[in-house]
Amino acid sequence: MCIALGGKNTDGDDKDNHAMIDSKNLFEWAFKNFSDNIEISLDKRFKSIQLGESAKLSAKVGDNNTKSKPAVEWSSSDDLIATVDQNGVVTAHSLGQADITAKTQTGNFDVCTVSCGFYNGIDVTLNTGDYSTGEKAPLDWKVLKNIGIDFAIIRADADSDGDSSQNYEKFAKDVKAAVENDIPYGISFVSNAKNANDAKEEAEYLVKKLKEYIPNYLDKMSLAIAYDMTDVRFKD
């Protein structure tokens, strides 16, 4: 079925201007331009799935006052890595990342980045800001858990020179928050050692500070301590 729309040309003459518009296209145009602008949001920002396994994403369309909720169309940025069916079930096929998009007929959409074959983690340094906003503010660990962060590597200060108490207070708060939000954590520190003796002193200092600041959380550390030797070369 087609509908003929008539009207005058905009250039001022008296000629009729007609256009033949397919009823399906007309419906889609009317729906897009006159329906409510209904928001959509996914339950995860990040999701890790092991190869050969599947997981379901949930899409929230509108709110409790939304009477007529449009259908959701699901798609993957790379079907070789991950596919998604129209119920939001994602299956991991090969190692890599794919963006899973949920889109409504009104054009609104939300995206979840799916990691296939590995986990999503965050490197928490002394200067890390709010992961959800990018602002320099305390991390919201509940948000990190909810958006799909699987683990955290929290930076400690292994430099025995100067006063590092403020750094370790922040470090201890991050460790406590990770544990309280059930996010597995490990520790990293940047070495300034120039030789084996320096490295030994750093390690001893780190262990001392860990026992001092997080004595109740050491047994809850499920990941390793990473020794970062960036830009360091031993002389002997």
Q: pLDDT (tens digit, 0 to 9) for every residue of the chain, 236 residues total?
A: 333 333 344 444 444 433 334 444 444 544 444 445 668 899 999 999 999 999 999 998 876 566 667 789 999 999 999 999 999 999 999 999 999 999 988 788 999 999 999 999 988 876 555 444 445 567 889 988 988 999 999 998 766 554 456 688 889 999 999 999 999 999 998 888 888 898 888 889 999 999 999 999 999 999 999 888 765 555 55
Element housing 1 (H / E): none
Distance between alpha carbon 106 and the CA centroid of its chain, in Å? 24
Residue 217 pairs with which residues in a beta bridge?
none
Going along the chain from its start, the domains and CATH numbers come out as 2-34 (no CATH), 40-116 (2.60.40.1080), 121-228 (3.20.20.80)
Cα–Cα distance between 167 and 189 in angstroms, integer?
A: 12
CA nearest neighbour of 187 among 160, 159, 227, 148: 227
Cα–Cα distance between 189 and 207 in angstroms, integer?
A: 12
Cα–Cα distance between 98 and 42 in angstroms, integer?
A: 15
